[in-house]
């Protein structure tokens, strides 16, 4: 609870006029206990776990064709009942583990020096502290995650989270109760090292969970702001980790890519990307060769070899139609025969 009852008292204590944000904070928090303010985290987490994954569900349901090219595993589509089951499981864990943990952890937050008082932190202070929190969490989470992929850690704890080889947003917090407790440590270390205002703490908890939902969304959307964050992993990076599954020894970091690069645990992912790029380039080259093939039978055979069966039907129909025509008409129409297009990927 703030020690100021009025704006005048707060301005006298600070020796300057309050900013608009500080005046708003004073009006809201002056009569509320620090514990009550801290418990806002429970509301924020509930709303984030419930609302943000629906964004991706909404895109998939109503704009499936538009966002389809950005789906990382396009052949995998989770049934809606399974999505609801995942959400129910997450909410069950939320009310049994996450919520009670928030209720009893306030003394530790108070001990490390997270404050609710005036003045409010500047924008630069908030951004710098959030940067420290993300870096500390990412580094600590990396090593815990590697431990959880050991034989004991995976079989006893982490395999629950890997039930979804093609992750969805709702599955971001889907985990064994012990994993939820263990991975709470990295989230706490940053604020413990660089304590800030409760507003910064709220932002940290909210942004970290939103990032986790995006990373598990299954969509690598090009318009997300995280594309502009240096060394950011993102959905494609983490999706590979889930796709490989329990035997994965790659892409352990939660947010950034530098730990995996430094410790050599991104080699499988980078090799896969290199091979896929080579295959795409080879396919472009092969498809471009269709235009120079003149003989229809050669076109059909080439399409069979590279797996374009449906186009074979077009070619065969084209050839059959020409054979049914008389000689003069055939010669005339042969000049306008179907030409296979160049495919651009």
Q: What is the DSSP letter of 249?
A: -
pLDDT tens, position by position, 224-271: 999 999 999 999 999 999 998 877 888 999 999 999 999 999 988 988
Q: Reduced to 3 states, what is the DSSP secondary structure of residue 256?
A: strand
Q: What is the largest CA-CA distance in the chain?
A: 102
The token pair that represents 55 in the structure block: 């964004």
Do 211 and 162 meet the contact criterion of CB atoms below 8 Å apart? Answer: no
Rounded to the nearest 5 degrees, what angle is found at the Cα of 186, between the Cα atoms of 180 and 189?
Answer: 135
Q: Reduced to 3 states, what is the DSSP secondary structure of residue 51?
A: helix
Helix 267-288 with 296-306: angle, nearest 10 deg: 170
Q: What is the DSSP letter of 18?
A: P
The token pair that represents 87 in the structure block: 């959400």
pLDDT at residue number 222: 93
pLDDT at residue number 85: 94
Task: Give the separation between CA 80 and CA 319, rounded to whole angstroms.
Answer: 46
The token pair that represents 22 in the structure block: 């500080």
Closest CA to 22 of 34, 31, 32, 10: 10
pLDDT at residue number 89: 95
Helices of type H across the chain? 7-14, 20-29, 34-38, 40-62, 64-67, 80-93, 99-104, 106-112, 123-148, 151-156, 177-182, 184-193, 198-215, 234-244, 258-262, 267-288, 296-306, 309-324, 327-334
Residues of the chain with pLDDT under 70: 1, 288-345
Task: Give the separation between CA 218 and CA 293, rounded to whole angstroms.
Answer: 40
What is the number of residues in the chain? 345
Q: What is the DSSP letter of 118?
A: S
Cα dihedral sign for 241, 246, 248, 252?
A: positive
pLDDT at residue number 317: 38
Task: List residues bridging with 76 in a β-sheet.
Answer: none
What pTM does this model have?
A: 0.79
pLDDT at residue number 301: 52
Q: Reduced to 3 states, what is the DSSP secondary structure of residue 273?
A: helix
Integer CA distances (angstroms), 131 to 124, 203, 252, in order:
10, 12, 19
Do 204 and 130 meet the contact criterion of CB atoms below 8 Å apart? Answer: yes
CB atoms under 10 Å from CB of 189, counted, come to 18
pLDDT at residue number 153: 94
Closest CA to 169 of 296, 42, 15, 53: 53
Do 311 and 340 meet the contact criterion of CB atoms below 8 Å apart? Answer: yes
């Amino acid at each position: 609870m703030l020690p100021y009852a009025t704006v005048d008292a707060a301005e006298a204590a600070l020796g300057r006029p309050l900013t608009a944000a500080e005046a708003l904070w004073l009006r809201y928090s002056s009569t509320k206990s620090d514990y009550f303010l801290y418990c806002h985290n429970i509301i924020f987490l509930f709303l984030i776990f419930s609302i943000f994954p629906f964004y991706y569900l909404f895109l998939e349901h109503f704009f499936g064709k538009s966002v389809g090219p950005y789906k990382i595993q396009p052949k995998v589509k989770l049934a809606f009942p399974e999505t609801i089951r995942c959400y129910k499981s997450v909410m069950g864990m939320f009310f049994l583990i996450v919520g009670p943990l928030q209720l009893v952890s306030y003394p530790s937050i108070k001990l490390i020096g997270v404050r609710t008082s005036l003045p409010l932190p500047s924008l630069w202070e908030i951004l710098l502290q959030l940067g420290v929190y993300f870096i500390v969490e990412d580094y600590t989470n990396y090593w815990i995650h590697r431990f959880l992929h050991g034989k004991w850690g995976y079989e006893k704890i982490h395999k629950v989270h890997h039930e979804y080889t093609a992750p969805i947003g709702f599955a971001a917090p889907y985990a064994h109760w012990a994993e939820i407790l263990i991975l709470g440590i990295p989230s706490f270390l940053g604020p413990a090292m660089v304590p800030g205002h409760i507003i910064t703490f709220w932002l940290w908890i909210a942004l970290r969970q939103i990032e986790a939902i995006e990373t598990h969304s299954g969509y690598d959307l090009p318009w997300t702001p995280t594309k502009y964050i240096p060394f950011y992993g993102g959905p494609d990076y983490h999706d590979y980790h889930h796709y490989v599954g329990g035997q994965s020894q790659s892409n352990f970091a939660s947010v950034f890519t530098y730990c995996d690069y430094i410790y050599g645990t991104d080699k499988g992912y980078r090799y896969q990307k290199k091979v896929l790029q080579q295959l795409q380039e080879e396919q472009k080259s092969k498809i471009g060769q269709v235009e120079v093939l003149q003989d229809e039978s050669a076109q059909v055979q080439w399409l069979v070899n590279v797996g374009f069966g449906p186009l074979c039907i077009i070619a065969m129909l084209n050839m059959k139609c020409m054979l049914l025509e008389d000689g003069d008409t055939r010669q005339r129409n042969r000049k306008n025969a179907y030409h296979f297009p160049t495919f651009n990927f």
